[in-house]
Amino acid sequence: MVDRWDERAKGAVHEPSLALHIEDLTVSYDHRPVLWDIDLDIPPGVLAAVVGPNGAGKSTLVKAVLGMVKPAAGHVYVFGRPHLQQLRRIGYVPQRTTVDWDFPTTVLDVVMMGLYGQLGWIRRPGRAERRKAMDALEQVGMAAFCHRQISQLSGGQQQRVFLARALVQDAELYLLDEPMAGVDATTERHIIGLLKELRSRGKTLLVVHHDLQTLPEYFDWLVLLNVRIVAQGPLKQVYTLANLRQTYGSQIGLLHGMPAGTGGPGAESPGSAALETAAPRAGGRR
């Protein structure tokens, strides 16, 4: 029996200077391609957003990096090695709706699950693990809730518990699937503060995000995705009206009436008022 859950044969090193390097990745469900020929590079130490319309394949991209879906083609490298050898260095915050929040377990239990990978087979979490979990709960401001059953949490609190679970993983690359979905403005500020702090500690973060308006304020790297990669790179260069229009296609028709000539690298960022209507889930925020 292997000692670690993710122990695999060591392979060749490839692009070690990138936190995440994806080549020619294609994923399909039932012969319908959901991700098509993705080439993606994320340098270390960035706080990157993945943006695209519903069904663009954002969650699938995250799952492919974690080895949760089998790609039809392509390779994924994390810090220079095949991703399946590097799972210990990846932290994951799934979309909140993926679990049964009525499950009989407490907040502290859930956070400790983030340590199960480090523990390996059979070994049980002990006092040291409990302390790490409490530290993480402290960081997300949920320490007072540690013995609550998870069914008694609000949506924003659930999200923070998932975040704490990822924090204890002590990973180097974090993948977060809509960590800001359905949380109030205060919690959102708290979460983004935490993500920025992780970045300042040298972590790399890839965040699926839905609110186009807050992109420049929160992120420094941007990946625009709609089955294919539309654009990727430093946010300042990629965050243009032309790119967004290409990503959202007809859905961004509401953007018509924007001042002309806002596209192109280095150009003025799109006006927020018009973008708000374009972002699928941005309406009614704040």
Partner 1 sequence: MPGLEILSDFTVRNALIGASLLGVVSGVLGTFAVLREQSLIGDAVSHAALPGICLGFLIAGTREIWPLALGALAAGAAAALAVLALTRYSRLKPDASLGTVLSTFFAAGTVLLTYIQNRQLPGQAGLDSFLFGQAAAVLPEDLWFMGAVALVALGAVGLFWKEFKLVAFDPGFARSLGLPVALIEAALTAMIALAVVVGLQLVGVVLMVAMVIAPGTAARQWCRRLETTVLLAAGFGAASGILGTMLSLLGRGLATGPLIVLVATGLAVVSLLFAPGRGAAWKAAARRRARAAIEDRHILAGMWQLAQSHGDAAYAVEQGMLDAMYGAGARGALERLERQGLVEPVTHMSEEGLHWRLTPEGRKAAAAEPLSPSPTVRGE
Ligand X SMILES: Nc1ncnc2c1ncn2[C@@H]1O[C@H](COP(=O)(O)OP(=O)(O)OP(=O)(O)O)[C@@H](O)[C@H]1O
* Dihedral angle computed from the Cα positions of residues 122, 125, 127 and 130, in that order, rounded to the nearest 10 degrees: 180
Q: Considering the rule CB under 8 A, would residue 144 count as an interface residue with partner 1?
A: no
Which residue, chain included where needed, has tokens 């204890």?
A: 168
Structure tokens at 223: 């990946």
Nearest residue (beta carbon) to Mg ion: 59
The total number of residues shown for the chain amounts to: 286
Q: Considering the rule CB under 8 A, would residue 125 count as an interface residue with partner 1?
A: yes
Structure tokens at 208: 């699926």
Q: Considering the rule CB under 5 A, would residue 169 count as an interface residue with Mg ion?
A: no
Q: Considering the rule CB under 6 A, would residue 215 count as an interface residue with ligand X?
A: no
CA distance 247 to 229: 9
Minimum Å gap between C-beta 263 and ligand X is: 24
* Dihedral angle computed from the Cα positions of residues 62, 177, 215 and 270, in that order, rounded to the nearest 10 degrees: 70
Nearest residue (CB) to ligand X, 56 versus 195: 56
Separate counts of helices (H) and strands (E) for the chain: 10, 10
**Which of 36, 88, 271, 285 contacts partner 1 by CB under 8 A?**
88
Residues 48-87 interacting with ligand X (rule: CB under 6 A): 52, 54-60
How many Å separate Cα 193 from the centre of its chain?
Answer: 15
Q: Which does 253 bind (CB under 5 to 8 A by kind): Mg ion, ligand X, partner 1, none?
A: none
List contacts with ligand X (CB under 6 A): 29, 34, 52, 54-60
List contacts with partner 1 (CB under 8 A): 4-6, 63, 66-68, 84, 87-88, 90, 92, 94, 98-100, 103-106, 109-110, 113, 116-117, 119, 121-122, 124-125, 149, 165
